[in-house]
């Protein structure tokens, strides 16, 4: 943990150098990164970074590096196809029964692997205009198949409680909207922002509120972060988690085990473990799918079912999320033990099932 006390959010490369979170020799490279991608490290997050550890898992998530200047093949500025599924400003309608509602384009902290890194940060439009907001609500009203609205951005908890209260009420007045989900980093990045007033603003008659917390390492679940989550949960707002599988951060069995157990201890159900999207300059933080599948297979045998996230890949171009965890069940043909006729070629399908120890078992024939 960092022994320094940080009073304000660090936003400039020179501030990172002065605070000891980056080296002076890297300043020129970091200025190039900052000219393209937003930087913000809150006091809560800065306090978690160990400057003496070159492989600190918190620093890898938030402190920029020159590796971000290198674009790998296949990377692009809209890796999951938000634009191609945006019928009106602020709305992404990729799945039939739910939409993303991108209210703001700012965050408390900026992750170095963000798939919307080309679209968020200072200098971008900070929030939807009143006209765009009204048009987005009209779109939701006009589509009765929309059962869930997911508030994202940016981070919706960057809005004031007063503004969030109005947004929640506007959505809850739409009869077919039954679920309002918020995706946020704020409880770990700026825990004090989750005030009683903020929590009250998220509860609304007519719809059920869910909050999805983004955290990638168990050290992010500090006492203050846990207290912020408890304020939400104690108020009747259920929480799930979303994490990103990151090279050098949580791509070990021990790190994933600790993180998922930490979520469950906080009464947060592990939900998604994302494979890193193909955003520009993120290759150094990306693992292989094979490694991710191996971790999920091994995690299955180590921790409770409560601790199992769904390992998913967002298909480039906007085709949506697909589970990419290990396959435990494979069909295989065998000669029938008791064929209905005398044919020697009669076959039956059994299934090869792999248990959490890697042992293979045969399941009986199935019709």
The reply to whether 229 belongs to the active site is: no
pLDDT at 125 over 70: no
Residue 36 designated active-site: no
* 314 is known as an active-site residue: yes
- pLDDT for residue 198: 98
Among candidate residues 107, 229, 266, 307, the one labeled active-site is 107
Annotate 318-343 with DSSP letters as a single string: TTEEEE-S---EEEEEEE-SS-SSS-
Q: Is there a catalytic annotation at residue 307? A: no
The one catalytic residue in 277, 297, 307, 311 is 277
Query: Is 95 in the active site?
Result: yes
pLDDT averaged over the chain? Answer: 93
Residue 308 pLDDT exceeds 90:
yes
CA distances in angstroms from 207 to 95, 99, 170, 233, listed in the order given: 20, 15, 11, 16
In which domain, by residue range, is 263 found? Answer: 83-323
Range with lowest mean pLDDT among 162-171, 224-233, 348-357: 348-357
Question: How buried is 304 (Cβ within 10 angstroms: 0-12 exposed, 13-18 middle, 19+ buried)?
Answer: exposed
Answer for the pair 153, 102: CB distance below 8 angstroms, yes or no: yes
Q: Is 111 a catalytic residue?
A: yes
Which entry of 78, 114, 165, 185 is annotated as an active-site residue?
A: 114
pLDDT at res. 87: 97
* Contact partners, residue 7, CB within 8 Å, separation at least 6: 43
107 is annotated as an active-site residue: yes
Q: Which residues pair with 214 in a beta bridge?
A: 242
Question: Could you tell me if 151 and 266 lie in one domain?
Answer: yes
Q: Provide the terminal-to-terminal Cα distance of the chain, rounded to the nearest Å.
A: 58
Let me know whether 106 and 142 are in one domain. yes
| pTM attached to this predicted model | 0.93
- Same domain, yes or no: 191 and 292: yes
Residue 6 in domain: no
- Shared domain for 271 and 358, answered yes or no, is no
With a pLDDT cut of 70, the percent of the chain lying above it is 94
pLDDT of amino acid 161:
98
- pLDDT band, very low/low/confident/very high, at 344 (cuts 50, 70, 90): low
Number of domains in the chain: 3
241 and 102 within one domain: yes
155 is catalytic: no
Catalytic-labelled residue, pool 111, 229, 266, 307 = 111
């Amino acid at each position: 943990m960092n022994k320094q006390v940080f009073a304000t959010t660090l936003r400039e490369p020179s501030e990172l150098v002065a605070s000891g979170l980056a080296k002076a020799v890297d300043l020129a490279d970091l200025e190039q990164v900052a000219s393209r991608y937003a930087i913000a490290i809150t006091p809560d997050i800065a306090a978690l970074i160990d400057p003496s550890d070159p492989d600190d898992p918190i620093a890898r998530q938030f402190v920029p590096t020159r590796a971000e200047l290198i674009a790998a093949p296949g990377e692009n500025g809209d890796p999951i196809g938000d634009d191609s599924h945006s019928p009106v400003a602020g709305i992404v309608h990729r799945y039939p029964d739910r939409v993303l509602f991108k209210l703001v384009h700012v965050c408390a902290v900026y992750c170095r692997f963000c798939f919307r890194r080309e679209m968020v940060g200072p200098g971008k439009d900070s929030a939807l205009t009143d006209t765009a907001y009204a048009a987005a609500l009209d779109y939701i009203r006009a589509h009765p198949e929309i059962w869930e609205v997911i508030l994202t951005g940016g981070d919706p908890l960057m809005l004031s409680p007063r503004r969030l209260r109005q947004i929640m009420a506007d959505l809850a007045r739409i009869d077919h909207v039954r679920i309002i989900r918020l995706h946020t980093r704020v409880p770990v990045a700026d825990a004090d922002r989750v005030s009683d007033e903020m929590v009250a603003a998220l509860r609304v008659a007519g719809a059920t509120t869910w909050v999805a917390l983004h955290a990638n390492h168990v050290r992010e679940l500090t006492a203050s972060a846990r207290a912020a989550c408890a304020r939400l949960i104690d108020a009747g707002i259920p929480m799930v988690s979303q994490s990103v599988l990151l090279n050098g951060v949580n791509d070990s069995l021990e790190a994933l085990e600790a993180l998922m157990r930490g979520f469950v201890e906080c009464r947060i159900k592990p939900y998604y473990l994302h494979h890193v999207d193909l955003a520009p300059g993120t290759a150094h933080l990306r693992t292989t799918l094979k490694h991710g599948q191996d971790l999920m297979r091994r995690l299955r045998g180590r921790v409770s079912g409560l601790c199992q996230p769904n390992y998913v890949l967002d298909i480039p171009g906007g085709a949506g999320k697909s589970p990419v965890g290990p396959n435990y069940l494979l069909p295989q043909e065998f000669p029938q033990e008791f064929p209905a006729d005398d044919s020697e070629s009669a076959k039956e399908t059994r299934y090869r099932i792999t248990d959490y120890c890697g042992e293979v078992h045969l399941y009986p024939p199935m019709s």
